[in-house]
Structure 1
Amino acid sequence: MYVEEDLVFYNQPLVNQIEVFDFMADELEKKDYVTTGFREAIKKREQKFPTGLKLSDMNVAIVHTEAVFSKTEKLVVIKPEKPVMFRNIENLEPIDVDLVIGLILNDSNKHLEILKKVSQLFQNQEMMKDIQNVKSQDELSSLMQNYFN
C-alpha cells in the first residue's frame, strides 16, 4: 500500500519549497518512514535536480531522494493551498506547482516502476482533472489510494 490516508494533504498552507520539504519530513519522521538525513537530502537533491513538470492542466513536482534515506515504500501527496514555486525539470525556469508527490522508496528497483505509474497518472487527463477539482482531503486521498494501491 503506497498511499496512506494520513500521507495525503489537501489545501496545506505552504508557501515555498522549504516549507513543503520540512512539512513532508516532519510527517514522515513522525511515522519513522525516513532517516534523519532525509530532510536535508531532499532539499539538496531538488537544488541539483529540479523536479517541476509543466502539464497541460496543472503543474506538478515529483520529489525524491536516494533510497538510503527511506525506510519504507510510500508516496506523499500534497496539494498546497496556493501553487508553490519549483524549477522546471526541462528548462530550469520557475513554475508554480499545484501538486507535489514525494516518493519514499527504499528499494531502488521499485523506483522505475513507481515513476512509470506516476507518469501514467499525469498522462491520464480525466484523472488529472479530478485531482485538480478535488474539494476535500478525503476526496484527494480516495483518488490517490484508488489509483496507486
Structure 2
Amino acid sequence: MYFDQHLCLFNVKALNKEEILTKMAQMLFSNGIVKEDYLQGILQREQQYPTGLLVNATGFAIPHTDSSKVNQSQICFASLSEPVIFSGMTDQNEKIPVKFIFMLAMKQPHEQIENLQNLISLFQNEQEIKLLEQCNSVNEFIAILNNAGVK
C-alpha cells in the first residue's frame, strides 16, 4: 500500500503551491522515502509539466518527479483549508484552485501510471470527494481510499 507511512496533512493553510509542495516533500524526505533532490525535481517538473486538474469543480494536483529521486514508493496527501493555485495539466494557462494534493513518490516508473489512473477514478467519484472534504484523520482517509479502490 502506498499510504502505509500515513503521510497526510489535513486542512493545511499554505500561501502558495511552492509552500505546500515544500512541506510535503520535506515530510517524505524526513521519513526516508525520497532523496535530497526530490523537492528540486518536484518544483522543476511542476514548472514544465503542471499537475493541476479540475474534476467536477474540485481542484486536485498530482505532483511527481523522476523515480531516481525516490527510495521507496509512497504517496503523501494534503487537503488545504483554502485552495492554492496550480497551472492546469492540460492547459498551462489555466489556473486551478487546488484543494487536494496527492504527491507521488514512486520507485518504479510503471507505478506512477497505475496510481494516476486510480487517483483520477477517485477524483471522478463525487461521493468520495465529499467525504474527503470532511476528512481530518488518517483512518478516515485510508477508509475513503480503500472504499474507492485506491491502495
TM-score, normalised via structure 1 length: 0.91
Q: Are 1:128 and 2:129 counterparts?
A: yes
Report the alpha carbon displacement of residue 137 of structure 1 after superposing the two structures with TM. Answer: 2.5
Distance 2:146 2:84 in 1: 24
SS in 2 for 1:42: helix
Deviations 1:55-100 (A, max 9, x none): 1141101110010011111111100121011011122221110100
| Bigger RCO of structures 1 and 2 (CA < 8 A, at least 6 apart) | 1
Match of 1:32 in 2: 32
Match of 1:62 in 2: 62
Report the alpha carbon displacement of residue 142 of structure 1 after superposing the two structures with TM. Answer: 3.6
Identity %: 26
Report the alpha carbon displacement of residue 148 of structure 1 after superposing the two structures with TM. Answer: 2.6
Distance 2:132 2:97 in 1: 16
Match of 2:21 in 1: 21
Provide closer, same or farther for how the CA distance between residues 32 and 7 of structure 1 changes in structure 2, counting only shifts above 3 A.
same
Say if 1:86 and 1:97, in contact at 8 Å, map to a contact too: yes
SS in 1 for 2:129: helix
Report the alpha carbon displacement of residue 141 of structure 1 after superposing the two structures with TM. Answer: 4.4
Report the alpha carbon displacement of residue 6 of structure 1 after superposing the two structures with TM. Answer: 3.1
Q: Once superposed, what is the RMSD of the aligned Cα atoms?
A: 1.6
Structure 1 regions of 5+ residues with no counterpart? none
Structure 2 regions of 5+ residues with no counterpart? none
Deviations 1:16-65 (A, max 9, x none): 11111110121011111101110111000000001101111411011100
SS in 1 for 2:117: helix
TM-score, normalised via structure 2 length: 0.90
1:79-90 map, 5 Å: 79-90=79-90
